[in-house]
Amino acid sequence: MKIQVRPMGVYQTNCYIVSIDGKDFIIDPGVDATPWVLANVTNPVAILNTHGHFDHVWSNAELQEKLKIPLYTPKGDVMLLGESSWMPDLPPSKPDVEVNGDEEFDFDGVKVKFRHFPGHCPGCSTIEIGDAMFSGDFIFDSSIGRTDFPYSSPQDMKESLRKFKEIAYDKIIYPGHGNTTTIKKEQQHADYWIKTQG
């Protein structure tokens, strides 16, 4: 499996291209991601959103149009794809598949597992492919996603962190911003972050 990453836009939002078994998956195509994606894919099969915040989904519609591939978005965040209180110029997009909670998809033998971790926003999810977890804005290196945004929920974040603690295996975490970390490392911090959620 090959993972390419490029931070996009003023928020330096990580856009990922995951290449496995001859298939390319595009995760969180943010602001101005399209030229980089087009230059680095050979057989794109899907666009995957960890959540619906504008800096992660800005190039959804443009890539859907240019690549003619489906968009997968967590159901709880579909509403965010058409409007953004922070960024009124967000190009609207519409998912081909609305992901329901913890759901796994099989792309001709490549398993893509969404795990629902609401709190930062209603649909906030991680995406697991192979030995990698793409965590969006749920978990970062020694940090978590903010819960003071519209549609955020500190109570949901608490429950999501408790659920995260129960994962029994380790994988490398590729977050929506910043550097990689691991599940086991961030599980050690989970109790601290739970206490900060009020």
Stretch 159-171: mean pLDDT = 98
Which CATH number goes with the domain that contains 34?
3.60.15.10
Nearest to 62 by CA among 18, 31, 22: 31
155: pLDDT strictly greater than 90: yes
* Total number of domains in the chain: 1
- Tens digit of each residue's pLDDT (9 = 90 or more) over 48-87: 999 999 999 999 999 999 999 999 999 999 999 987 666 7
Q: Poorest-confidence range of 10-14, 180-184, 194-198?
A: 194-198
Determine the pLDDT at residue 63.
Answer: 98
191: pLDDT strictly greater than 80: yes
Decide if 31 contacts 58 (C-beta within 8 A). yes
Give the percent of the chain with pLDDT over 90.
Answer: 95
SS3 state of residue 16: strand
Distance (Å, whole) CA 172 – CA 186: 10
DSSP string for residues in 142-188: TEE--S-STT--HHHHHHHHHHHHT--S--EEEESSS--EEHHHHHT
Decide if 14 contacts 176 (C-beta within 8 A). yes
**Residue 44 token pair:** 């794109």
Length of the chain: 198
- Tens digit of each residue's pLDDT (9 = 90 or more) over 91-139: 999 999 999 999 999 999 999 999 999 999 999 999 999 999 999 999 9
The whole domain housing 59 covers 2-195
Stretch 13-41: mean pLDDT = 98
198: pLDDT strictly greater than 80: no
Determine the pLDDT at residue 88.
Answer: 75
Distance (Å, whole) CA 124 – CA 80: 12
Determine the pLDDT at residue 98.
Answer: 98
